[in-house]
Chain A
Amino acid sequence: MNPLTQSLISGLMSGAVYALLAVGLVLAFHTTRVVNLAHGESFAIGGLVAATLADAGLPAYVFAPVAIAASVLFLLAVERFLLRPRRSWPIGNLILVTLAAAFLTRGVLQLAMGVDPLSFPRMFTGAPFRIAGGVLPPQGLALIVIGVTTAVAVTLFLLFTPLGRKLRAVAENPDAAELLGVNVDRARSLAFGIAGALGGLSAVLLVPLVSVDYQAGLGMTLRGFIAAALGGMAPATVILAGLGLGLSEALVTNYAGALAQDPIVFIALIAVAVWQSRKIAFGGTGRA
């Protein structure tokens, strides 16, 4: 086995998940200006629903769509019942509302699904691919290909379709968008629905390779948020940031060991934060 090749493969696998999570966070952020700290719960819900249904003997073509639908419904509910009625609240308070939603969801999942980690069988089986001394299981390849393709597709949708432009308009100035006939509530539902689908999809792809429990959500939110922040909350760059984060974590683990991983990632995050605040202080176009 070649540790370097294996690091690159492993980095791409986690990078694809970070990219999916980051794009979901950015979508919600862009339509509401709220960093949705309950975003990762869509991962936990999708993973636990899939595992429970798989345990009940249902095939993947049933449990995967149902799990993704559950994640979609969850984030739609967060937008509809928690954020929409509080539209006039300051953003900081709304972020706390999403944090509360995350903890509440965690509690409900603990009661409903139990505390033990769960998993379910891979959907993509077969002999692993051996590439230059590295090993890539078919499920891992599916994770990288589907994950990156979906993240890119959502970004292209935002940048180049009329609906995507509307979402960006709502993000920037909801009142002005409303005056031009855009249904802001519906646009936000759409953004949260897509974000939920991305959370559910990442669970369906990743959980067979790892496991999921009721408290997986906040950790996932944190990983997605780091990628999103490194990418400046812009949809196109967060995909690169997600992949870059995954690859650099893997290379750090390979060359410097797992103990060095957190310090290096957080130093990078602080450096990016300082760099971005400089840009703002010197009159850049970025909004804090």
Chain B
Amino acid sequence: MTLLETRNLSGGYRALTIFSDVNLTIEPNTITGILGPNGAGKTTLLKTLAGLLKAQSGTIRLDGNDVMPLSAHDRARHGIALVPEGRQIFQGLTVKENLGIPRSASRFSAVEFDRRFEEILTIFPRLRERLGQLGGGLSGGEQQMLAIGRALLLDPKVLMLDEPTQGLAPIMVSQVLSSLEALRGRFSMLIVEQNRDFLDRLSNSKFVFRGGKLEQTT
């Protein structure tokens, strides 16, 4: 059964339409990549799927259920997680506090949450070393790990990542890549990137955004 499906989805800001008629199907436990230049509408699409922006028309279904009426925090509770562009970690909260924010919204039970919390620190050992530090004091790569780790604690059905390699040193890019590869098959991912090699390594299927329309590519 299809996990996430959009039909004729259009979105943008107020009167301005950024993308239109997007028909996207994401199967369980797959990785989908979306390429496209700056301003093509990739970020707008992810924000619309996550519920931060209201869709202008069309439908979004998760496990066959309409999620359009749900607010962003409710979609997060139902398993749609977004690691936003620029990481958006809470700079004034410690690493541990950042990771604790999704606790009550998580689909994990309390016991399971604590177990997964440990697992995140195993996947990203750098975070364990920095647990007591403020988020604002982390390097770009560490912030990306924290942002991904935080979203994983929601127990997502689909994890959306907006430009996860942006601004990272090559060594950090490969670290992020290997950790995402390690997570392959546990849930679906939808990754928006300008780095084609990164997507080639990860994705089962790829799309490209051209003029506000989504096209399948190889």
Q: Contact size class for B?
A: 20 to 34
Contact indicator B90/A179 (Cβ below 8 Å)? no
Give complex CA distance A162, B105 in Å: 12
- A181 & B93 in contact (Cβ 8 Å cutoff): no
Name which residue of chain B comes closest to A186, CB basis. B73
User: A168 and B93: CB pair below 8 A?
Assistant: yes
CA distance A173 to B143 in the complex (A): 15
CB distance from A198 to the nearest CB of B (A): 22
CB distance from B98 to the nearest CB of A (A): 8
Q: Which of A173, A176, A183, A184 has the most CB of B within 10 A?
A: A176
Q: Are A180 and B92 in contact (CB under 8 A)?
A: no
Q: A165-B97, A172-B91, A175-B52 are in contact. Are A184 and B103 (CB under 8 A)?
A: no
Residue-by-residue, is B62-95 near A (CB-CB < 8 Å gives 1, otherwise 0)?
A: 0000000001110011000110100011111100
Contact among A165, A168, A172, A183 with B73 in the assembled complex (CB-CB below 8 Å): A183
In contact, B73 and A176 (Cβ under 8 angstroms): no
Shortest CB–CB separation between residue A159 and chain B, in angstroms? 10
Confirm or deny: A182 has a beta carbon within 8 angstroms of a beta carbon on chain B: yes
A166 close to B (CB within 8 Å): yes
CB contact between A180 and one of B52, B136, B154 (< 8 Å): that residue = B154
Q: Contact: A169 with B101, CB < 8 Å?
A: yes
Q: Mark B99-110, 1 if CB is under 8 A from A, else 0.
A: 011111110000
Q: What residues of A have a CB within 8 angstroms of the CB of B81 in the complex? A: 179
A-chain residues with CB within 8 Å of residue B151 when the two chains form the complex:
179-180
B106 adjacent to A181 (CB under 8 Å): yes
- A181 to B76, Cβ gap below 8 A? yes
- B73 x A181 contact (CB < 8 A): yes
Asked if B50 is at the interface of the complex by the 8 Å CB criterion, the answer is: yes
Complex alpha-carbon distance, A267 and B92, angstroms: 30
Complex: how many Å from CA A168 to CA B89?
A: 12
Given known A162-B103, A166-B101, A169-B101, contact A180–B76 (CB-CB < 8 A): yes
B157 within 8 A of A: no
Cβ of B72: which chain A residues have Cβ within 8 Å of it? 175, 178-179
Quick check: is B42 within 8 A (CB to CB) of the other chain?
no
Q: State in angstroms the CA–CA spacing of A69 and B165 once bound together.
A: 50
For chain A, the bracket of interface size reads 10 to 19
In the complex, are the beta carbons of A180 and B91 less than 8 A apart? no
Report yes or no: B102 in contact with A178, Cβ–Cβ below 8 A.
Answer: no
The distance from the CB of A269 to the nearest CB of chain B, in whole angstroms, is 24
Task: Take A180-B101, A181-B77, A285-B136 as given contacts and tell me if A169 and B90 are in contact as well, using a CB distance cutoff of 8 Å.
Answer: yes
Chain A 147-173 interface residues, beta-carbon cutoff 8 Å to B: 162, 165-166, 168-169, 172-173
Q: In the complex, A166→B150 CA distance in Å?
A: 13
Of the candidates B82, B91, B105, B136, the one having the most CB atoms from chain A within 10 angstroms of its own CB is B105
A178 B84 Cβ-Cβ under 8 A: no
Q: Which B residues touch A177, using CB under 8 A?
A: 90, 101
Q: Which residues from chain B contact A165 at a C-beta distance below 8 Å?
A: 93, 97, 100-101
Shortest Cβ gap from B76 to chain A (Å): 4
Q: B154–A176 contact, CB under 8 A?
A: no
Contact (Cβ within 8 A) A182 B100: no
| B91 and A162 contact, CB distance less than 8 A | no
Taking CB atoms, residues of chain A closer than 8 Å to B105 are 180-182
CA of A178 to CA of B77 in the docked complex: distance in angstroms? 10
The smallest beta-carbon distance between A170 and chain B, in angstroms, is 9
A178: B residues at CB distance < 8 A: 51-52, 71-73, 76
Collect the chain B residues with CB atoms within 8 Å of residue A162's CB: 100, 103-104
Using a CB–CB cutoff of 8 Å, the interface residues on chain A facing chain B are 162, 165-166, 168-169, 172-173, 175-184, 285
- Those 6 A-B pairs whose CB atoms lie nearest each other, nearest first: A181-B105, A176-B88, A181-B76, A178-B72, A180-B102, A180-B101
| B residues whose Cβ falls under 8 Å from a Cβ of A | 50-52, 71-73, 76-77, 81-82, 84, 88-93, 97-98, 100-106, 136, 150-151, 154
21 A–B pairs (Cβ distance < 8 Å), ordered by A: A165-B93, A168-B92, A168-B93, A169-B101, A172-B93, A173-B90, A175-B52, A175-B72, A176-B88, A176-B90, A177-B90, A178-B71, A178-B76, A179-B82, A179-B151, A180-B73, A180-B102, A180-B105, A180-B154, A181-B154, A183-B71
* A177-B90, A179-B50, A181-B77 known, 4 other contacts, Cβ within 8 Å: A168-B92, A176-B90, A179-B52, A179-B82
